[in-house]
């Protein structure tokens, strides 16, 4: 199961970063390039423990749906969203926030499993792992800029 870890240093406080990371409206804006929109469950505002959201987006030229649920939540330090249903076999996304030298270190740990056995593992190696890394890095940069504007 591939696991990505992306560290982003942000010149803003923990709460601002934490709230932006769980804000459905902000997520939509940060993923505008894939026409991502929330279509079911929590569709705007701040998502909380036990809540789920269903996203519709276009990736690889194909419209897809993904439902995830907040399974762990410790404001403003940590939350986890896990796949309920999607094209993935499974995924778990840990969002960790720590203070470091008056800045916030935002750590994303994203573990995923592709379907289709050997073909899925080949897709991970050839393009999917890098695609997911680029997607997370784009979103994190968008979050960093917004958080530093607010702060």
Q: Which domain holds residue 121?
A: 3-150
Provide the number of structural domains found in the chain.
1
Query: Pairing mode, if any, of strands 52-59 and 37-41?
Result: antiparallel
The pTM is what? 0.92
CATH number at residue 38: 3.30.530.20
Tens-digit pLDDT profile for residues 114-139: 887 787 777 777 788 898 999 999 99
Q: Long-range pairs for 95-98 at CB < 8 Å and ≥24 separation? A: 95/18, 95/21, 95/22, 97/14, 97/17, 97/18, 97/21, 98/14
Angstrom distance (rounded) from CA 39 to CA 45: 13
Tens-digit pLDDT profile for residues 16-72: 999 999 999 999 999 888 889 999 999 999 999 999 999 998 877 888 899 999 999
* Tokens 């940069």 belong to residue: 141
């Amino acid at each position: 199961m591939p696991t990505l870890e992306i560290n982003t240093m942000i010149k803003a406080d923990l709460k601002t970063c934490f709230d932006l990371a769980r804000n459905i409206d902000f997520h939509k804006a940060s993923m505008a390039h894939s026409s991502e929109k929330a279509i079911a469950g929590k569709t705007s505002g701040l998502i909380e423990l036990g809540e789920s959201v269903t996203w519709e987006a276009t990736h690889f030229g194909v419209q897809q749906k993904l439902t995830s649920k907040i399974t762990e939540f410790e404001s403003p330090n940590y939350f986890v969203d896990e796949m309920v249903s999607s094209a993935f076999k499974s995924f778990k996304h840990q969002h960790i926030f720590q203070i470091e030298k008056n800045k916030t270190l935002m750590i994303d740990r994203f573990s995923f499993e592709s379907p289709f056995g050997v073909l899925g593992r080949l897709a991970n190696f050839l393009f999917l792992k890098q695609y997911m890394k680029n997607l997370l890095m784009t979103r994190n940069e968008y979050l960093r800029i917004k958080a530093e504007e607010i702060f």
